[in-house]
């Protein structure tokens, strides 16, 4: 073999391995279901911590989980009645969100007790209704843990339409939400309409939950809204920077989690949340004091 | 020329809670530029009266005017700055800088969806300077001492350029040195910036030492702008008789 021939062979081999690597890396994007999952995932990754930061800072982290469990009951109703799962989940979680807020603000029940009441109630109702809907081909596994293969074009459309609404409302109410999260009594005394803004926040949380659950599943919705925020808070930054970092962590978790779940064949929701927890641990490790 | 409007004009206000009388025919007139200390025992109705002045609760009868306006209107226009109780011990994990907290004092004025303009930035700068926390503006509020936090809340209240500052037990949880500095700051805001100040305290010494007028509220109210008259008022003597030996100040 002449040196010139050997050199050509080596170049050709390197090109081949590069093409194979590229093919390996680009493979997820060759599937329509993955593109849909990325599209829906990226938007939910942006809005989930935007709501989450206002829930975490007012010690309301379990609101997202509660609404997710109530959403499951909504989906069960949707399965029985033929309503689209996103809207069925949205309807149920919106009603629950307003009811929890009403019980809390009227001081009839402690905030956390109201959440526990609706979390258990939602799950109980869902289990009864899903047992009635057994013949309707309900995939409980994908509902609970999320499944990227089940995200349809219609889902992506709804996620975008509702997601943009959530985004715009948060941007408009950002100052009011910040003020109320910091101190509700002070905000009330400053003349802010605390009751209405609180109701809007829980409704936005309900919308976000119903969108996010398609990607990460009912059991992990709360995680995507809360963990990136808690991870970002470890870096002790201003409120705005904490929010921006939380969005970055959430985006990183969703994109990395979706890719990992594609290659490893694992549940998308669980993989995304584990990546987010890894980000939290990194933040905790760097900021130990 | 019309008569100057009162900063706070409370007329014949009654309030009861669970059929227990909390405020009994309370009348209080606070002149613009006054520095009033509101004293009284726990359960005497101090916080209730303050909430009524702020328009957070409605009295059963009587009327309240703040510079001639309803408390709700005055609040919306940023005329009243409020510093709540127990701020010094607040949530240390809340991720916000001093500047973000002080900026939030402009929120009711900016309104929903409004932009933060140059005039808002100027008001925030002035408030940070007036409260002596400009050098702390990039620090996280959770990392401050009780006394520093309290000043940040004064700055937040000042950001709306209020005419009246109402403070509820402002130095709870603040150490003695910071307490003195705090009341000196209030005095400065009162004399230099002409802000009417009303602070609630259960400490006779604090009220008689720092305020130029003192009120004592125990369902009924008595107000005096002379320390001698205040300390010899029968209502005050009934409540604080034993403390007299400790109180000797020169105004």
B107 at interface of A, judged by CB pairs closer than 8 A = yes
In the prediction, which pLDDT does A11 show? 63
For residue A282, is pLDDT > 80? yes
User: For chain A, what is the total number of helices (H) and then of strands (E)?
Assistant: 12, 0
Identify the band that residue B247 occupies on the pLDDT scale cut at 50, 70 and 90: very low
pLDDT for the residue numbered B7: 94
How many CB pairs lie under 8 A apart between chains A and B?
A: 70
ipTM: 0.85
By Cβ distance, the residue of B94, B101, B108 closest to A190 is: B108
A170-211 pLDDT tens trace: 999 999 999 999 988 888 888 889 999 999 999 999 999 988
Helix (H) or strand (E) holding B198: strand B196-201
**Chain A nearest CA to B105, separation (Å):** 8
Cα separation of A186 and B94, whole Å?
A: 15
Which two three-digit tokens encode residue B219? 């369902």
**Chain Cα centroid distance, residue B168:** 6
Lowest mean pLDDT among A169-173, A174-178, B106-110, B167-171: B167-171
DSSP code at position B222: E
Confidence of residue B250 (pLDDT cuts 50, 70, 90): very low
User: Which of B241, B218, B239 minimizes the C-alpha distance to B46?
Assistant: B218
Taking CB atoms and an 8 Å cutoff, what residues of chain B touch A179?
A: 104, 107
pLDDT 10s digits, A15-44: 555 656 677 778 888 888 889 989 989 999
State the DSSP string of B182-209.
Answer: HHHHHHHHHHHS--EEEEEES-HHHHHH
pLDDT level of residue B88 (50, 70, 90 thresholds)? low
Say how far apart CA B230 and CA B247 lie, in whole Å.
12
Q: Do B107 and A188 touch (CB under 8 A)?
A: no
Residues of A in contact with B107 (CB under 8 A): 175-176, 178-179, 187, 190, 192
Contact A177, A50 (CB under 8 A): no
CA nearest to B237, candidates B220, B209, B216: B216
What pLDDT score does B133 carry? 93
CA distance A200 to chain B (A): 13
pLDDT of residue B251: 46
> B146 CB near a chain A CB, below 8 Å?
no
Element (H, E) at A225: helix A221-233
pLDDT band of residue A120 (cuts 50, 70, 90) is very high
Q: Got the DSSP string for B97-117?
A: BHHHHHHGGGHHHH-TT----
Pairing of strands B8-17, B61-66: antiparallel
Chain A CB contacts of B116 under 8 Å are: 175
């Amino acid at each position: 073999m002449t040196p010139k021939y050997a050199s050509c062979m080596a170049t050709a081999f390197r090109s081949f391995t590069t093409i194979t690597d590229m093919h390996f890396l680009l493979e997820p994007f060759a599937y329509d279901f993955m593109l849909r999952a990325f599209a829906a995932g990226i938007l939910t990754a942006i809005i989930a911590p935007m709501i989450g930061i206002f829930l975490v800072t007012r010690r309301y982290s379990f609101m997202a989980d509660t609404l997710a469990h109530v959403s499951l009951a909504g989906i069960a109703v949707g399965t029985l009645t033929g309503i689209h799962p996103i809207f069925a989940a949205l309807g149920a979680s919106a009603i629950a969100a307003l009811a929890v807020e009403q019980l809390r603000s009227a001081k009839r029940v402690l905030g956390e007790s109201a959440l526990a009441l609706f979390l258990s109630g939602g799950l109980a109702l869902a289990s009864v209704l899903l047992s009635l809907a057994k013949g309707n081909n309900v995939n409980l596994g994908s509902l609970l843990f999320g499944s990227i293969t089940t995200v349809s074009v219609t889902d992506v459309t709804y996620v975008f339409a509702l997601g943009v609404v959530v985004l715009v409302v948060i941007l408009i109410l950002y100052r009011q939400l910040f003020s109320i999260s910091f101190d509700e009594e002070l905000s009330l005394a400053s003349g802010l309409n605390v009751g209405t803004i609180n109701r809007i926040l829980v409704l936005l949380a309900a919308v976000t939950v119903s969108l996010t659950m398609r990607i990460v599943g009912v059991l992990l919705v709360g995680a995507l809204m809360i963990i990136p925020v808690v991870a970002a808070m470890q870096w002790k930054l201003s409120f705005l920077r904490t929010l921006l970092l939380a969005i970055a962590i959430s985006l990183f978790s969703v994109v990395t989690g979706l890719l990992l779940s594609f290659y490893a064949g694992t549940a998308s929701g669980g993989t995304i949340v584990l990546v987010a927890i890894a980000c939290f641990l990194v933040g905790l490790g760097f900021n130990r004091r | 020329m019309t008569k100057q409007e009162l900063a706070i004009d409370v007329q014949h206000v009654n309030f009861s809670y669970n059929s227990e009388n909390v405020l009994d025919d309370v009348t209080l007139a606070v002149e613009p530029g006054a520095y009033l200390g509101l004293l009284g025992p726990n359960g005497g109705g101090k916080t209730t009266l303050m909430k009524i002045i702020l328009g957070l609760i409605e009295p059963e009868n009587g009327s309240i005017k703040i510079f001639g306006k309803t408390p709700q209107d005055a609040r919306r226009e940023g005329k009243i700055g409020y510093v709540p109780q127990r701020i010094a011990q607040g949530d240390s994990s809340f991720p916000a800088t001093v500047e973000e907290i002080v900026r939030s004092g402009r929120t009711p004025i900016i309104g929903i969806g409004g932009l933060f303009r140059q005039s808002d930035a100027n008001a925030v700068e002035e408030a940070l300077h007036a409260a002596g926390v400009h050098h702390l503006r990039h620090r996280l509020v959770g990392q401050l001492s009780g006394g520093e936090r309290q000043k940040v809340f004064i700055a937040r209240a000042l950001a709306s350029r209020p005419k009246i500052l109402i403070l509820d037990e402002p130095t709870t949880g603040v150490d003695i040195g910071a307490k003195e500095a705090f009341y000196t700051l209030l005095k400065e805001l009162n004399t230099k910036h002409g802000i009417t100040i009303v602070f609630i305290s259960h400490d006779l010494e604090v009220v008689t030492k720092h305020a130029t007028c003192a009120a004592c509220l125990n369902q009924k109210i008595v107000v005096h702008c002379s320390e001698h008259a205040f300390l010899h008022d029968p209502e005050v003597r009934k409540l604080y008789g034993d403390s007299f030996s400790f109180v000797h100040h020169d105004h």
